[in-house]
Structure 1
């Protein structure tokens, strides 16, 4: 891997930080709702945390790819652990988590006038889907009124399995955030099942 830091690395780290911010927002809401947050006190010790500062000052220049991959793993495991902790003895907590994710999506909304292509680009610029070389999201149909894409691999399941929580909860949370992202736009988001998704200009 080249030791030269490029725009794609800043792009990826921004997405990593967005997922980390979502997890922190969920923790804050859980505290406000007096959910069982006590076990989360050791989350940094268990899974690590994101360093703060400009990417150029904190990244390992001798291992850019590996450093970013490690940070993806951190934010994936943190979200999984928070979800597991809050839902283990309170299955209804997933509703609170998803509502938080929806509001977080509204706070990070797409341009209201976005086209379907714009919307997909915003999706790719916002949500962690592994490393760019993983090629997770593949457009399968596109015209001026809609765009459909397919996830070629479940990049998240490995982390949720490690933590011991059903990855289906991840997709509930992410879908809630996506709905929030597009709620104020002319685009309707559809989860078609089996890793297939669509944005339609209404």
Structure 2
């Protein structure tokens, strides 16, 4: 298997697992806070789950690209369903979810003193943005003190629409996790709107 699996496949699967871990952290936090978690008991049956084990032992060697794309869809839909379930009838739940996401980001934080370019690389190594061939994040401006990038396509909307969830909540959650990732790094993160973002050396 190692002969056909490349570093990019392990890189992508690691990001997929990070998003799955975020969703699980939200579920566990919601249980502790006694939020409406009862409907989540059937999440695996409704939206699938990630297989356990080393990638080389669980991936379909005849359809590597399709297998990884399917796992992206699973973690995207799972997060959307969890957020939809917890926020239905409880508009304040998103604040709690963002708190969990920010704390999760802190646990996965980048080291202090990095450059904006390092920060963007870490972002690309951490957050699911479709398949590598989708080319979602494009750097539009870069110098030693600032890096700006643009999302060329909204890769998440299709999954949140499928679940019937409000996609705006996805970006609240992602921004909260990003804030946690860069807390204490010496880089300030800004969501500029219309899919534009930047990291600035503080």
SS in 2 for 1:190: strand
Measured in 2, the distance between the counterparts of 1:45 and 1:114 equals 42
Cα deviations by residue, 1:54-91 (Å, 9 ceiling, x for unpaired): 00000000000000000000000000000000001111
The question of 1:173 aligning with 2:173 is answered yes
Cα deviations by residue, 1:65-118 (Å, 9 ceiling, x for unpaired): 000000000000000000000001111000000000000000000111111000
Count of residues in Structure 1 that have an aligned counterpart in Structure 2: 200
The question of 1:96 aligning with 2:96 is answered yes
Where does structure 1 lack aligned partners over 5 or more consecutive residues? Answer: none
Per the alignment, residue 46 of structure 1 pairs with: 46
The question of 1:62 aligning with 2:68 is answered no
Query: Offset of 1:139 from its aligned partner?
Result: 0.1
Cα deviations by residue, 1:113-154 (Å, 9 ceiling, x for unpaired): 111000000000000000000000000000000000000000
Per the alignment, residue 33 of structure 1 pairs with: 33
* Cα RMSD, aligned residues only: 0.7
Note the 1:11-160 alignment, pairs <5 A: 11-160=11-160
Could you state the TM-score of these two structures normalised by the residue count of structure 2? 0.98
Cα deviations by residue, 1:167-193 (Å, 9 ceiling, x for unpaired): 100000000000000011100000000
Per the alignment, residue 6 of structure 2 pairs with: 6
Which structure 1 residue ranges, 4+ long, deviate > 2 Å from structure 2? none
